[in-house]
C-alpha cells in the first residue's frame, strides 16, 4: 500500500490511488432517489425474488412523533443539518417494528443517536444503544464492542434496528452481523434496516481522503463511487442479486424478509433520501 505523509491526502490523491489499485472509480455519489432509478430497482428486485410493498409515510403521524420525541428541543445538535431525515428513519423503524413496552430494543451501530432514549420514552420498552465506539460490555444502556459479536445472551432482544448503518459494515461484516442477529434475537424478534441502500448495480461509496490512508479493503469487482466531502470510509450499495447472495442465502430459512418502498418521502421534506427499507423476522 502506498504510504502518504501524515496519513493526510486530498480527494484527488485518494481517487488516483484507488485507480492505481485497479478499482473502477466513479467520481460522484451514488444516487438512488430518482424515480426512473427507483422503478428500475424494483424491477430488478422482482427478478431476484425481492418484492417491495408500497409504504406510504403518514405525514401527520410523523409530525406528531417528531414533536413528542423532542428532536429540536432535546437533541438540537443531532444531525442539525439533516435532522428531518434522521428522525424519519427512526420513525419508520419504530412503526415497522411495532415496538411496545414488553420489548427489549437495541439500536445497532447507533453512534450518538438518541433513538434508544426516544424509543424508551415513547413506548416504555427496555432499550439499548450499541456501537463499537462505546466501552466494551454492557454499561447502563450502552452495549460496546463489535456488533457482529455482542456481549449479550442468546435471545437477549426482541427488536433491533440499523438506521443508516448496515452499509458501513465492511468486508463480510454484513453477513456476520445477520448471523449474530440470529443468535441475539429471540424467535419472532425482528430487525429493521432503513434506509436500505439498494441500487441497480452493486457498488461502494467512499470518501477516499478518509478511506485510502487507513487501508480500507473494498469489495472486488464493483465500482467505487468517490464522494468528495462525504466524510465516511465505506458505504455498501447492494444490487438485488448481491443482497440475496450476501444476506438472504447465508441465512437459509432463519429469517423472513419483508421489503418496503417508501412512496412519498419528499412529502415529508424535499431533502429526504430514504427510498427503501426492510424488516427481517427471526423464525423459530
> What is the percent of the chain with per-residue pLDDT over 90, rounded to a whole number?
96
What pLDDT sits at residue 1?
A: 36
Cell 473502477 belongs to 24
pLDDT of residue 8: 87
- Average pLDDT over the chain, rounded to whole? 96
Residues 180-206, mean pLDDT to the nearest whole number: 98
Q: Is it the case that residue 2 has pLDDT exceeding 50?
A: no
Domains of the chain, first to last: 58-197+238-282 (3.40.50.150)
**Taking 60 as the threshold, does the pLDDT of residue 270 lie above it?**
yes
Residues paired with residue 260 on neighbouring β-strands, in sequence order: 53, 277
With CA atoms as reference, report the closest residue to 125 among 111, 141, 104, 109. 104
Instruction: Give the pLDDT of residue 100.
Output: 97
Is 275 exposed, middle or buried (CB count within 10 Å of its CB: 0-12, 13-18, 19+)? buried
Q: pLDDT tens digits for 171-190?
A: 999 999 999 999 999 999 99
Give the confidence band of 252 by pLDDT, cuts at 50, 70, 90. Answer: confident
**pLDDT the model gives residue 246:** 98
pTM for this model (two decimals): 0.95
Task: Give Cα separations from 232 to 152, 164, 216 (angstroms).
Answer: 28, 12, 11
Amino acid at each position: 500500500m502506498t504510504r502518504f505523509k501524515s496519513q493526510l491526502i486530498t480527494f484527488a490523491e485518494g481517487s488516483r490511488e484507488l485507480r492505481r489499485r485497479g478499482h473502477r472509480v466513479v467520481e460522484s455519489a451514488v444516487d438512488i432517489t430518482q424515480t426512473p432509478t427507483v422503478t428500475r430497482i424494483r424491477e430488478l428486485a422482482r427478478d431476484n425474488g425481492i418484492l417491495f410493498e408500497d409504504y406510504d409515510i403518514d405525514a401527520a403521524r410523523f409530525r406528531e412523533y417528531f414533536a413528542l420525541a423532542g428532536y429540536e428541543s432535546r437533541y438540537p445538535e443531532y444531525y442539525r443539518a439533516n435532522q428531518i431525515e434522521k428522525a424519519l428513519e427512526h420513525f419508520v423503524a419504530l412503526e415497522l417494528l411495532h415496538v411496545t413496552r414488553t420489548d427489549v430494543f437495541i439500536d445497532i451501530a447507533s453512534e450518538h443517536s438518541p433513538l434508544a432514549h426516544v424509543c424508551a420514552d415513547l413506548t416504555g420498552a427496555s432499550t439499548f444503544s450499541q456501537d463499537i465506539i462505546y466501552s466494551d460490555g454492557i454499561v447502563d444502556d450502552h452495549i460496546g464492542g463489535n456488533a457482529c459479536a455482542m456481549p449479550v445472551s442468546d435471545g437477549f432482544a426482541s427488536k433491533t434496528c440499523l438506521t443508516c448503518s448496515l452499509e458501513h459494515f465492511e468486508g463480510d461484516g454484513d453477513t456476520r452481523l445477520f448471523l449474530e442477529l440470529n443468535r441475539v434475537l429471540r424467535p419472532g424478534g425482528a430487525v429493521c434496516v432503513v434506509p436500505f441502500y439498494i441500487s441497480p448495480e452493486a457498488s461502494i461509496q467512499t470518501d477516499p481522503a478518509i478511506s485510502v490512508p487507513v487501508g480500507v479493503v473494498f469489495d472486488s469487482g464493483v465500482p467505487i463511487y468517490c464522494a468528495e466531502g462525504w466524510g465516511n470510509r465505506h458505504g455498501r450499495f447492494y444490487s438485488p442479486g448481491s443482497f440475496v447472495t450476501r444476506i438472504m442465502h447465508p441465512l437459509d430459512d432463519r429469517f423472513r424478509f419483508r421489503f418496503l418502498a417508501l412512496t412519498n418521502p419528499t412529502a415529508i421534506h424535499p431533502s429526504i433520501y430514504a427510498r427503501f427499507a426492510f424488516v427481517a423476522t427471526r423464525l423459530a
